[in-house]
Amino acid sequence: MRIKPTNTFLASWALAVIFAVPPVMAHHSFEMFDMSKAMTVTGTIKDFQWTNPHTFTFIDVPNDKGGVDTWAIEGMSPNFLGRRGWTKHTLNPGDKVTITIAPLKDGQKGGTFLRATLPDGHEMVMFDNPSRLQPK
């Protein structure tokens, strides 16, 4: 597990605050997450729940005891993501991925999903380029 505040984090989060906080606010507040922190978890996808009101990604992350910890990462809904390039097949059990999250404040192994680097190196973000939200 690596904890690494990233340089692009603030910029991307600024966009998220401007354009995407309302989506998340629609269901619940960010109070439980430490939005000042970005950390990455690298591991193997155990399950990707393509469900409302949130997607949930379970990822097995190697720990320093030689085993794995399962992290639970809350993401935007299929309704929101499905209109922004994601599908139920974007993450698959067995995929080796790196996910950037804002972790839970209470220290549990979980957080809110910011973006992921897929096995093919492609990056998927939860909060898309705002121009994609404009009507055609």
Is residue 63 within the footprint of other proteins (CB under 8 A)?
no
* Residue type at 3 in one-letter notation: I
**Are the C-beta atoms of residues 16 and 81 closer than 8 Å to each other?**
no
Other residues' Cβ atoms within 10 Å of the Cβ of residue 47: 14
Is residue 97 within the footprint of other proteins (CB under 8 A)?
no
| Host H or E run for residue 22 | helix 21-25
Q: How far is the CB of 81 from other proteins (least distance, A)?
A: 11
C-alpha to C-alpha distances, 66 to 43, 51, 61, 110, nearest whole angstrom: 13, 32, 10, 20
Tokens of 122: 């492609």
Is residue 79 within the footprint of other proteins (CB under 8 A)?
yes
- Which of 63/108 has CB closer to other proteins? 108
Q: How far is the CB of 45 from other proteins (least distance, A)?
A: 12
DSSP letter at 33? B
Q: How far is the CB of 135 from other proteins (least distance, A)?
A: 3
- Which of 6/43 has CB closer to other proteins? 43
- Selection from 42, 45, 38 nearest residue 98 by Cα: 42
Is residue 80 within the footprint of other proteins (CB under 8 A)?
yes
Contacting residues toward other proteins, per CB under 8 A = 18-20, 22-23, 26-29, 31-32, 46-47, 49, 51-54, 56, 58, 70, 72, 74, 77-80, 82-83, 104, 108-110, 130, 133-136
